[in-house]
Amino acid sequence: KYVDILKNNVKVRKDLEHGTKKEVTGKELDKMIKDSKDFMKRVEKLFDQIQEMFNKKNVLHLYDEIMTIIRDVLKLEGINKVQDEELIKIFEDELISTAKVPAKFLRDLNEIIEAKRKYDQGKITKTEIDKARKGSVGLIKFLIEYIQRKRGQELERAKIMVKHGSKFGEVT
Render pLDDT for 81-91 as a digit per residue (tens, 0 to 9).
Answer: 777 777 888 88
Q: Which one, of 172, 171, 107, lies nearest residue 139 by Cα?
A: 107
Residue 93 DSSP SS3: helix
Whole-model pTM over 0.85: no
Q: Over 90: is that where the pLDDT of 97 sits? A: no
Q: What is the dihedral of CA 113, 119, 125, 127, to 10 degrees?
A: 30
Question: Dmax of the chain from CA atoms?
Answer: 100
Q: 147 CB contacts (<8 Å, ≥6 apart)?
A: 69, 72, 73, 76
Render pLDDT for 5-18 as a digit per residue (tens, 0 to 9).
Answer: 889 888 888 988 88
